[in-house]
Structure 1
Amino acid sequence: MTRGEPAQSPVLSVIVPASNEAGLIGRCLDALLASCFDVPTRWQLLVVANGCRDDTAMVARGYGDAARARNVDFQVIEVALGNKLNAINVGEGAAQGGVLAYIDADVVVSPHLLPQLTEALGGDAPAYGTGTLCIARARRWDSRAYGRFWSQLPFVIDGAPGCGVFAVNRAGRSRWGAFPAIISDDTFVRLHFGPGERKNVPADYQWPIVEGFENLVKVRRRQDQGVAEIAALYPDLLANEHKSRLTPMRLLQLAMADPVGFGVYATVALATKLPARSREKWVRGR
């Protein structure tokens, strides 16, 4: 860039909402900053530390030098309110990229994920993208079994669910205003795009599953509540769902291939139908 020439806008803005993630944010940022673009690329990394009672913001700021060395525009924003959707809205206010990626602080991306998302969403047509989901190995056997079975379901394999990682281009982002106060931000965004507009790039990312049966039930119940909430508040979006159907024959095949995984998955699904304990507190339960 010559003197007096305006700075080129970043091609990509990555927004990482983080609440009390001091123990995990380092792994997330290490992986993001190891992204391998084929050509020198200016991009933006925004960590929005929201409602933190730990050192999340301080740990994140420790990555400033590493980010600058990689030509990454890096910023840590602190907000008092502990709310993911509000944190995303705050991050978007500082985002300048033509592609917006939303990544959970407990996710670890592979080096080619950001470049592939940037390329896949680089056109003028509205588009949504995510990577190939890989569930990180859990410590508890029941969580490993649940994750193993769940990851083989048609919706996960064919549906570009975007758990923990999703991205849109600016044309796609224009389809809604500020993020509403809802449970399932990933489902909300995905359903703003038809199947032909959703892109699942080959690069993968590691997404952790919660530890232990009780937490699996809590998360599954919350996921179900999130889907029901969107169906109630935004029924028109359901036309974009187009989930791959789990036929009885396919379910039988999956159950026979992994009876332990099926047993845990089915038991969790049944347990979510039972009344929740009064004042059940939402926990991430890693």
Structure 2
Amino acid sequence: MTSVVIPAHNEAPVLGRLLSGLLGDARPGEFDVVVVANGCTDETESVARAHGVRVLSTPVPSKREALRLGDREARGFPRLYVDADVTVSTAGVRALVARLGGPGTLLAAAPERDLALAGRPWAVRAYYAIWTRLPHVRTGLFGRGVIAVTEAGNDRIRALPPVMADDLAASLAFGEDERTVVAEARAGIQTPRTFADLLRRRVRAATSVSELERETGPGGPSARTSLGDLVRIAAREPWLLPAAAVFASVTVLARRRARRAVRAGDYTTWLRDESSRAPGS
């Protein structure tokens, strides 16, 4: 049995969309789905129960705690960790499971990203035009909202320190020969609908990367974007130079705004992008 753990904090507007796609063509008993409603004040639990999945509840509004609880109650492997605000189909889950079910050293897999960019401001679209071309973004498992692991892979990520950038830490925990991106699986991801929400996301990312680097120490794995990355993209595709300028500006501004949280050691304030959870997103 494949287990799917979904941490959900006030995700009533989007959780049904995920569960409908995930379970749409599933056979009875094929997936063991556990939704962990953490600190919810909306109808998240009711939405989950309406889809016939197991529901756990905790008053603690913490994704880390939700993942821990879900992991404890999940029954099978491969095991998927899925963000409530993305979409993935039954076929996509099966494709991930198939890649981890054969012989070899693969411990973790994630789907390709389908970014929703229609109707977004030019600056948001420009940012993602560069972000999706970065080497570590193209091959990493983070920023996809879905990670599937074998039992050995689960042991690996459970040994990681509790950090805000949990998907980035999980991605960096596996070598290139231990992880893969599965083209046959697609994750639908809502991008920010406003520039302000994009910046909020990037401030959170900058803060969480700093926390991860603090935990791993000097010389540890990192996924920071370098100036060289931008130069190489612009050299290959010169028409992206304006987009590279937007990306660089957002990155610098986000890192500056993250400094206060980093100096204070505040790695718990979650700057959530509510625009991507609006009805119709």
TM-score, scaled to structure 2: 0.82
- Alignment partner of 1:87 out of 62, 66, 82: 66
Distance 1:184 1:35, change over 3 A: farther
Note the C-alpha offset of 1:211.
Answer: 2.7
Secondary structure of the structure 1 residue equivalent to 2:187: strand
Deviation at 1:33, TM superposition (A): 0.7
- Please tell me whether residue 283 in structure 1 is matched to residue 272 in structure 2: yes
Cα drift, residue 181 of structure 1:
3.3
Indicate the residue corresponding to 1:140 in structure 2. 120
C-alpha displacement of 1:61: 0.8
The answer on whether the counterparts of 2:230 and 2:244 sit within 8 Å (CA) in structure 1 is: no
Alignment map for 1:14-163 (pairs within 5 Å):
14-35=4-25, 42-64=30-52, 74-123=53-102, 125=105, 127-137=107-117, 139-141=119-121, 142-163=123-144
State the structure with more CA Rg: 1
- In the other structure, the counterpart of 2:240 is 258
Alpha-carbon deviation of 1:52? 0.5
Once the 2 structures are TM-superposed, how far is the Cα of residue 201 of structure 1 from its aligned partner? 0.6
More helix by share: 2
Which residue of structure 1 lines up, in the alignment, with residue 190 of structure 2? 208
Where 1:207 maps in the other structure, the secondary structure is strand
How many equivalent pairs are there?
Answer: 265
How far off its partner does 1:259 sit?
4.3
Question: In 2, Cα distance between the equivalents of 1:62 and 1:116?
Answer: 26
- Bigger CA drift: 87-96 or 124-133? 124-133
CA distance in 2, matches of 1:36, 1:245: 45
Secondary structure of the structure 2 residue equivalent to 1:194: coil
Q: Counterpart of 2:12 in 1: which secondary structure?
A: coil
Aligned match for 2:178, one of 197, 216, 228: 197
**2:215, 2:106 → 1: CA distance?**
23
AA matched with 2:92 = L
How does the TM-score come out when normalised to structure 1? 0.81
Shift in CA distance, 181/145, structure 1 to aligned 2, threshold 3 Å = same
Gaps of 5+ in 1: 1-9, 65-73
Q: CA shift at 1:41, angstroms?
A: 6.6
Percent pairwise identity: 32
Cα shift at 1:59: 1.1
The one-letter code matched in structure 2 to 1:282 is L
Unaligned residue ranges in structure 2 (runs of 5+)? 262-268, 276-281
Relative to structure 1, the CA distance from residue 59 to residue 156 in structure 2 (aligned partners, 3 Å threshold; closer, same or farther) is: same
1:272, 1:204 → 2: CA distance?
A: 28
- Alpha-carbon contact 2:3-2:33 (below 8 Å) kept: yes
Aligned 8 A contact 2:108 2:179 in 1: yes
SS at match of 2:109: strand
CA contact (8 A) 2:3 2:77 kept: yes
Q: Secondary structure at 2:251's aligned position in 1?
A: helix
Please tell me the root mean square deviation across aligned C-alpha atoms, in Å: 3.0
Q: Structure 1 residues 222 and 156 mapped into 2: Cα distance closer, same or farther (>3 Å)?
A: same
Q: Is the 8 A contact 1:195 1:240 kept in 2?
A: no
Residue of structure 2 in register with 1:184 after alignment: 165
